[in-house]
Amino acid sequence: MASVSSLGIGSGLDLNTLLAGIKSGEQAPLIALQQQQTSYTAKLSAYGQLNSALSALQAAAAALALPAVFQGVKANSTASDVVTATALSTAASGSYAVNVTQLTQAQSLATAGVASTTTNIGNGSTVTNVQFEFGTTAGTVFTQDATRTKSLAIDPLHSSLADIAKAINGSATLGVTASIVNDGSATPNRLVLTSKQTGEASSMRITVSGDPADPVNPNGDPALSSLLTNDPAGTQLQQTAAAQNTKLTVNGIAITSATNTVAGAIQDVTMTVSKVGTSTLAVQKDSDSAGNAIATFVNAYNSLQSVATKLTAFDATSKSGAVLLGDSTLRNIQVRIRSALTTAQTPDASGLATLTQVGIGFQKDGTLSFDATKLRTVLDSQMSGVAKLFSGTAGVGGYGTQLSSLITGMTDATTGTLTAATKGINTTLDTLGKQYTATSARIDATMARYSAQFTQLDMLISNMNQTSSYLTQQFAPTPTK
């Protein structure tokens, strides 16, 4: 039997076109499945957008559920380069005149100069002990703070200026930093010792013991003792910066502080001074934080409405609707949220029970309007009532608390309404995927069968045509001469 090199060659029939038409008809179910997959994928994406908008609204509502948002107190300075301040929620409102006359600083001492930073200064084999005491110096009288006394051992074989500086800086508890300064003289290298703490009570007294006599020194004075000893009542190092407190007055009352941070001079207020000068601090309830949190909440709700409107829009021209038009999940979410916001709260003595009383109201398009001026007036006069309106009492009631809980339930990873709808779509997409794979395999098998049958038909007709041609030749009349 003859073979056919190309389908239709043997029979002369357009079998390829016929086969393509059959395949097109067989693939109709695949096209329907693809359309369903596209539709459900679009719906899944829409639910993702909805979930993001809900999460933003939940975060804004949760912020309003915190009583601290409505308990803030701010302290404004007329000269922030002189003093700034923070206040606790318990701080009393008031105006305070601040006059800074002195800033705190740490004591700094400089030793006499030595020629080399690497030559050992100690002698012999005895370890020298350097004791640092901290306290207050008044003239030649040093009053020690015994709890802060620290010691440093210096090995005579590692007693160069660089070694001493390294040992001091390597101690986490000594309370002193060291640096080497070159003053350009014949013996230029000087060790500068600075207390890590500022304030008058961090003045230093330094004593050296166990330091053997220096044979090079004409007087036989111990070298390390001569270099490092600082005693207000005796031998002293050069003081390059005095230990001093911050000094200021608040409404004419003198205040001192060991640091530039002054806490308690004004009850529940902490001031930070930066330079000498005057300023006025105004301590008052912080309505800005509460107002901003409420504005954020309104914006988040309106963003949710904008997303919902886009996802449920209807185009009259094309007579087609957006992906979530008529979707029961979205409609249920919108109804529940609006119901929560239109249900009055239990008022306190302020009488505040609804959003309209603080300048928030529903508009015709479903979004919220926001009257910032009205809200500010209510915040300034009835802060506690606004706090209860949004955060409730002890976590019970309040629009922020209720709405945060409501949305959390809707988006819960296990039982949430939106989560269930999303899982349903994913299940459907998984089923459609399996159906597509099975249908595609069935179509491939069917087309393979048709192709084999058409090939056999082509070969059969080809053979029949050849037989017909042969018989025609055999029975044709013999030509006469």
302 and 273 within one domain: no
Res 296: pLDDT: 96
Q: What confidence tier does 478 reach under pLDDT thresholds 50, 70, 90? A: low
Domain boundary among 178, 210, 241: 241
Structural domain of 256: 73-104+245-285
Among 402, 393, 403, 378, smallest CA distance to 291 is for 378
pLDDT digits (tens, 9 = 90+) for 115-160: 999 999 877 678 899 999 999 999 999 999 999 999 999 998 999 9
Res 323: pLDDT: 85
Note whether residue 174 is domain-resident: yes
Q: Quick one: what percent of the chain has pLDDT higher than 70?
A: 94
412 and 302 within one domain: yes
> Among 69-78, 89-98, 213-222, 407-416, which is the least confidently predicted range?
213-222
User: Model pTM?
Assistant: 0.62
Residues shown for the chain: 481
Among 271, 477, 295, 441, smallest CA distance to 379 is for 295
Residue with tokens 């509502």: 61
Note whether residue 272 is domain-resident: yes
249 and 231 within one domain: no
Average pLDDT of the residues of the chain: 88
Res 119: pLDDT: 92
Half-sphere exposure of 251 (CA within 13 A, CB side): 7
User: CATH code at 219?
Assistant: 3.30.70
Note whether residue 7 is domain-resident: no
Note whether residue 51 is domain-resident: yes
260 and 329 within one domain: no
Number of Cβ atoms within 10 Å of the Cβ of 296: 17
pLDDT digits (tens, 9 = 90+) for 172-189: 999 999 999 999 999 999
232 and 130 within one domain: yes
Q: Where are the alpha helices (DSSP H) in 119-228?
A: 161-169, 223-228
Note whether residue 461 is domain-resident: no
pLDDT digits (tens, 9 = 90+) for 350-364: 899 999 999 999 999
307 and 211 within one domain: no
187 and 171 within one domain: yes
Name the more confident of 413 and 253.
253
280 and 294 within one domain: no
Domain boundary among 394, 419, 444: 419
pLDDT digits (tens, 9 = 90+) for 52-67: 999 999 999 999 999 8
Res 12: pLDDT: 60
What's the domain count of the chain?
3
234 and 124 within one domain: yes
Domain boundary among 393, 419, 445: 419
Note whether residue 147 is domain-resident: yes
